[in-house]
């Protein structure tokens, strides 16, 4: 049966068995950050069921927020308090389900997301596609380069049970058909959390709109590249329609 995400409490977004975490970040060239963006169109920029990779299902993360109780904010705060990342801004390199839902909760008018989950319920992979016209939040920080491998070459995450995970980040050049310039940030960890062996994020800014494809437990990087290309096309189509 297809899976759907639940609202917090939610564990780390990545699930799997290995100990290596990889994050790929796209820095879009030729973007126009000063361009006025109609924030009401964010939902139309999101990928649809037609964009779903073979073997996956599509879900709207917004439905998680609608199904959540009135105390969602308190749940998010409680989840956040149970994990400490040092330096704190490096947490964006290892996103959790809670942190993504928190961004939508805090920027509901300017941020939207969908997710893709494997049809095989035994496969722990998760892919989230987030679009934001806000200059605040993890998506903007990643797209703008505020959070980078240079600033997060070594960082740790401590849970309230006392367990500590060490991360090391490095970056290299990569390529994506559109946009042209990409940066790959690889984060290695000693985590034993299922799925944290591989976390890949592709992010950038197109016509003033930030996006990220954040995936865990996905070993086929072509799936993520294809999704990134589709996400860029969705944004461009909507922005061209506003001209």
Q: Could you tell me if 111 and 1 are in contact, meaning their C-beta atoms sit under 8 angstroms apart?
A: no
Asked if 140 contacts 210 with a C-beta cutoff of 8 angstroms, the reply is yes
| Distance in angstroms (rounded) separating the CA atoms of residues 6 and 14 | 14
- Give the residue extent of every domain in the chain: 20-242
DSSP bridge partners of 191: none
- Cα angle 205, 6, 235 (rounded to 5 degrees) comes to 20
Counting other chains too, the contacts that 229-234 makes at CB distance below 8 Å and 24 or more residues apart are 229/176, 229/177, 229/178, 230/47, 230/51, 231/45, 231/47, 231/129, 231/131, 232/28, 232/178, 232/179, 232/204, 232/206, 233/178, 234/44, 234/45, 234/46, 234/47, 234/51
* Kind and range of the H or E run holding 153: none
Q: How many CB atoms lie within 10 A of CB 36?
A: 9
Q: What are phi and psi of 196, to 5 degrees?
A: -80, 5
**Residue 231 near residue 26, CB atoms below 8 Å:** no
CA distance 109 to 209: 13
Query: Are the C-beta atoms of 13 and 84 separated by less than 8 Å?
Result: no
Per-position pLDDT tens, the chain of length 243: 445 443 333 333 333 222 233 444 444 433 444 444 444 579 999 999 999 999 999 998 877 677 666 677 787 888 878 889 999 999 998 888 888 888 988 898 999 999 999 999 888 889 999 999 999 999 999 888 899 888 999 999 999 999 999 988 877 665 666 555 556 676 778 877 766 777 888 888 888 899 998 888 888 888 988 998 899 899 999 998 876
Q: Coil, strand, or helix at residue 206?
A: strand
Give the up-direction half-sphere exposure of residue 108: CA atoms within 13 A in the CB hemisphere.
8
20-242 domain in CATH 3.80.10.10? no
């Amino acid at each position: 049966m297809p899976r759907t995400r639940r609202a917090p409490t939610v564990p780390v977004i990545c699930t799997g068995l290995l100990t290596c975490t990889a994050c790929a970040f796209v820095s879009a060239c030729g973007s126009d950050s000063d361009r006025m963006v109609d924030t009401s169109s964010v939902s139309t920029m999101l990928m649809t069921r037609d964009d779903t990779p073979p073997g996956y299902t599509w879900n709207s993360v917004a439905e998680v927020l609608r199904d959540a109780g009135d105390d969602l904010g308190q749940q998010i705060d409680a989840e956040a308090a149970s994990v400490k990342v040092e330096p704190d801004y490096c947490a964006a390199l290892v996103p959790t389900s809670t942190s993504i839902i928190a961004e939508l909760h805090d920027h509901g008018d300017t941020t939207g997301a969908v997710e893709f989950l494997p049809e095989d319920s035994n496969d722990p992979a998760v892919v989230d596609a987030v679009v934001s016209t806000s200059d605040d939040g993890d998506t903007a920080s990643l797209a703008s380069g505020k959070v980078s491998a240079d600033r997060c070459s070594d960082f740790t995450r401590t849970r309230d049970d006392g367990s500590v995970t060490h991360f090391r980040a490095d970056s290299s050049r990569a390529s994506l058909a559109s946009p042209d310039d990409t940066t790959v940030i690889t984060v290695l960890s000693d985590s034993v959390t299922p799925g944290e062996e591989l976390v890949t994020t592709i992010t950038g800014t197109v016509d003033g709109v930030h996006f990220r494809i954040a995936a865990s437990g996905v070993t086929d990087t072509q799936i993520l590249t294809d999704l990134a290309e589709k996400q860029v096309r969705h944004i461009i189509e909507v922005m061209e329609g506003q001209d």
